[in-house]
Chain A
Amino acid sequence: MRGPNIARAAFSEETLKRVEAVISRYPTPQAAALPVLYLAQKEFGYINDEALSAVAFVLRISRAEVYGLATYYSMFSTSPMGRNVIHLCDNLACTLLGAESLRSCLERKLGIRMGETTSDGRFTLRNAECLGACGQAPVMLVNDDFYEALTESTIDKALEKYR
């Protein structure tokens, strides 16, 4: 049953293969929810309506449950995001060392407020609740790359890499 059913989901062939592989690593399909949501976010850009249906279908749970997960966990977004996502930490260790001025600096440079996306779709700016690099504070994560001991002058150089 699973083969033909799974193929009806809106994932691409390639993603579908990865979805099947990831589901096989758990005792129940639902347990693969987080990795499958990551794959869906990669494929659809964010957890949109199509993604909700596709994920619900392969995990054999309701769309409402998938929506619950997508809105509960910070790493998923139910609205469109930029091509690059900046997570700026402003928890205590980073705040003690100037995260607040870095936030205004980023907002100024990008011309957006925290939580928004630049009009060219290049960056989304989000705050993070501790990135676990407190010894190198203040820090930000751009996609999968860490930038540590940040200053206003090192932010520019870091952002240049991303198109």
Chain B
Amino acid sequence: METILLNRVHLENSRSISVYTANEGYDALKKALSMSPSGVIDEVKRANLRGRGGAGFPAAMKWGFAAADPKRPKYLLCNADEGEPGTCKDRQIMEGDPHELIEGMIIAGYAFGAEYGYIYLRAEYPRLEGILEQAISEAEGKGFLGKNICSSGFNFTIRVHRGAGAYICGEETALIESLEGKRGQSRIKPPFPVNVGAFGLPTVINNVETLANVPHIILKGGAWFAGIGPAKCPGTRIISLSGHVNRPGYYELPMGVTFREVIYEHGGGIRGGKELKAFIPGGASSPCLTPKHLSVNMDYESLAEAGSMLGSSALMVMDQDTCMVRVAERLMRFFVHESCGKCTPCREGTDWLLSILERIEAGEGKQEDIELLRDICDNIAGKTFCPLGEGALGPVRGTLKYFEEEYREHIRIKGCPMKI
């Protein structure tokens, strides 16, 4: 199967506008500008393009809401704050084919009537700031950005905004706060950003991978896109594969590919001929799964059914020698560090979870700690401002569900069985 998003990244000088335009680049923009804005939204609706950030919300629906709000100006924020541990997919697009993202942003801006676009770039990608700025200035030079784009009367500018190392800013309302120059702490919804977003104005936040699909959809049609992969969730997905596999890296594959195919065919199986113990399917927040789930398809619905989530499609693979308590502990340390501190269940709850996980791993756990972990999880779930608190439960709930016996063994033998 051919790729959609990463077709150009292997070309020489793939970042330059000349290579981009020689390979269909900005043809979609010209086509979109010949359509009505609502016609562009309809085409993306036909494609059934769902958000690639993790929630899977239909992109065209977001644009429609923002277009319907009469307030001006409107903002398009590209969420390039790829911070979910295990994820390195958006980086491939921005590093190898930045114009694909920029063209997608211009078309999206045209569709719902945005004047300003910002790319909220994660701080840990310092080199990308220059790459994106270079691409923006090339696009301005060719009249694809700025005033009266391609003589259409449409004006749109894009600026790069580098974050400063806070995972929470990948959550859309925290991202807005951060863009406004505040600490990145989530806002309660409603109002939703499509009505009251950046600087109090209608704002759409789309993930890099979502926007990069847009030029392809406009050029080849929504029906073409809707025919790739599962009907409920068409298109491809860039999967970040890491951990104990022979060939880690990133792979663009049709949505709905099985874990078996990704881990064993593309990833070359488990390192050192060992057995697979567990895998985390969609970034740190997604509960782990086990070898019996290898036939599950990587799409939103199938993973929800399997009790986990597709998230950012960051697949982390663990071999037979991995201690699952330690995995949960390590990920919880991350969530404790990244909790913004605004709401109590997340701020205090993650800290308590970490303390208990640490003592179990250190051999100081008590039998009742298992129930205590579950109880704290139940008291965080559904009680936080934003999804970070909920996400922090993934590592605990997943490992407890499939590896409770391993927890109990830690408590029984007063230490980590993997170290003995």
Partners in one complex: yes
Binding site for B on A (CB under 8 A): 25-35, 37-38, 59, 61, 68-69, 72-76, 87, 91-93, 95-97, 128-137, 141, 144, 146
Q: Which of A30, A32, A132, A144 has the most CB of B within 10 A?
A: A132
Q: Given contacts A28-B181, A92-B85, are A34 and B164 in contact (CB under 8 A)? A: yes
**In the bound complex, do residue A131 and residue B184 qualify as a contact, i.e. CB atoms below 8 Å apart?**
no
Instruction: Across the interface, name the chain A residue whose C-beta is closest to B90.
Output: A132
CB distance from A114 to the nearest CB of B (A): 13
A92: chain B residues within 8 A (beta carbon): 85-86, 243, 280, 284, 316, 327, 330-331, 334
**In the bound complex, do residue B181 and residue A129 qualify as a contact, i.e. CB atoms below 8 Å apart?**
no
Binding site for A on B (CB under 8 A): 82-88, 91, 122-127, 159, 161-167, 178-184, 199, 240-244, 248-250, 280, 284, 314, 316, 318, 322, 327, 330-331, 334, 337-338
Docked Cα-Cα span, A35 to B120, in Å, equals 12
Which listed residue (B83, B184, B250) contacts A130, Cβ 8 A?
B83
Other A-B pairs, 19, CB within 8 Å; known A30-B182, A38-B162: A31-B181, A33-B181, A34-B178, A35-B161, A35-B162, A73-B166, A74-B164, A74-B166, A91-B330, A92-B280, A92-B327, A93-B85, A93-B86, A130-B84, A130-B86, A131-B124, A134-B86, A134-B240, A135-B248
B248: chain A residues within 8 A (beta carbon): 134-137
Which listed residue (B85, B88, B316) contacts A129, Cβ 8 A?
B85
Docked Cα-Cα span, A135 to B85, in Å, equals 11
CB distance from B203 to the nearest CB of A (A): 12
Instruction: Across the interface, name the chain A residue whose C-beta is closest to B168.
Output: A72
**In the bound complex, do residue B181 and residue A34 qualify as a contact, i.e. CB atoms below 8 Å apart?**
yes
Docked Cα-Cα span, A25 to B206, in Å, equals 21
Which listed residue (A28, A96, A135) contacts B199, Cβ 8 A?
A28
**In the bound complex, do residue A75 and residue B165 qualify as a contact, i.e. CB atoms below 8 Å apart?**
yes
Instruction: Across the interface, name the chain B residue whose C-beta is closest to A66.
Output: B181
A75: chain B residues within 8 A (beta carbon): 123, 164-165
B280: chain A residues within 8 A (beta carbon): 92
Instruction: Across the interface, name the chain B residue whose C-beta is closest to A70.
Output: B164
A135: chain B residues within 8 A (beta carbon): 88, 240-242, 248-250
Q: Given contacts A93-B243, A96-B244, A97-B243, are A132 and B164 in contact (CB under 8 A)? A: no
- Nearest first, the 4 closest Cβ-Cβ pairs linking A and B are A74-B165, A33-B181, A73-B164, A30-B181
CB distance from B353 to the nearest CB of A (A): 16
Which listed residue (A31, A32, A73, A137) contacts B165, Cβ 8 A?
A73
Q: Which of B122, B125, B338 has the most CB of A within 10 A?
A: B125
- 14 cross-chain CB contacts under 8 A: A28-B181, A30-B180, A32-B181, A74-B123, A91-B330, A92-B86, A92-B330, A93-B85, A129-B334, A132-B122, A134-B86, A134-B88, A134-B314, A135-B248
**In the bound complex, do residue B199 and residue A27 qualify as a contact, i.e. CB atoms below 8 Å apart?**
yes
**In the bound complex, do residue B334 and residue A130 qualify as a contact, i.e. CB atoms below 8 Å apart?**
yes
**In the bound complex, do residue A31 and residue B183 qualify as a contact, i.e. CB atoms below 8 Å apart?**
no
Q: Given contacts A93-B242, A134-B242, A144-B126, are A59 and B164 in contact (CB under 8 A)? A: no
A34: chain B residues within 8 A (beta carbon): 161-164, 178, 181
**In the bound complex, do residue A132 and residue B330 qualify as a contact, i.e. CB atoms below 8 Å apart?**
no
**In the bound complex, do residue B180 and residue A28 qualify as a contact, i.e. CB atoms below 8 Å apart?**
yes
Docked Cα-Cα span, A68 to B248, in Å, equals 39
Instruction: Across the interface, name the chain B residue whose C-beta is closest to A33.
Output: B181
A136: chain B residues within 8 A (beta carbon): 248-249
**In the bound complex, do residue B123 and residue A134 qualify as a contact, i.e. CB atoms below 8 Å apart?**
no
Which listed residue (A26, A27, A29, A68) contacts B183, Cβ 8 A?
A68
Docked Cα-Cα span, A28 to B183, in Å, equals 16
B178: chain A residues within 8 A (beta carbon): 34
A97: chain B residues within 8 A (beta carbon): 243-244
CB distance from A99 to the nearest CB of B (A): 10
A76: chain B residues within 8 A (beta carbon): 164
Docked Cα-Cα span, A130 to B179, in Å, equals 21
B126: chain A residues within 8 A (beta carbon): 141, 144
Docked Cα-Cα span, A34 to B214, in Å, equals 30
Docked Cα-Cα span, A43 to B127, in Å, equals 20
**In the bound complex, do residue B242 and residue A72 qualify as a contact, i.e. CB atoms below 8 Å apart?**
no
CB distance from B176 to the nearest CB of A (A): 10
Docked Cα-Cα span, A135 to B268, in Å, equals 13
**In the bound complex, do residue A96 and residue B316 qualify as a contact, i.e. CB atoms below 8 Å apart?**
yes
**In the bound complex, do residue B82 and residue A132 qualify as a contact, i.e. CB atoms below 8 Å apart?**
yes
CB distance from B244 to the nearest CB of A (A): 6
B314: chain A residues within 8 A (beta carbon): 134
A25: chain B residues within 8 A (beta carbon): 159
Instruction: Across the interface, name the chain A residue whose C-beta is closest to B248.
Output: A135
Docked Cα-Cα span, A128 to B166, in Å, equals 11
Docked Cα-Cα span, A158 to B188, in Å, equals 45
Docked Cα-Cα span, A141 to B91, in Å, equals 15
**In the bound complex, do residue B183 and residue A93 qualify as a contact, i.e. CB atoms below 8 Å apart?**
no
CB distance from B412 to the nearest CB of A (A): 25
B123: chain A residues within 8 A (beta carbon): 73-75
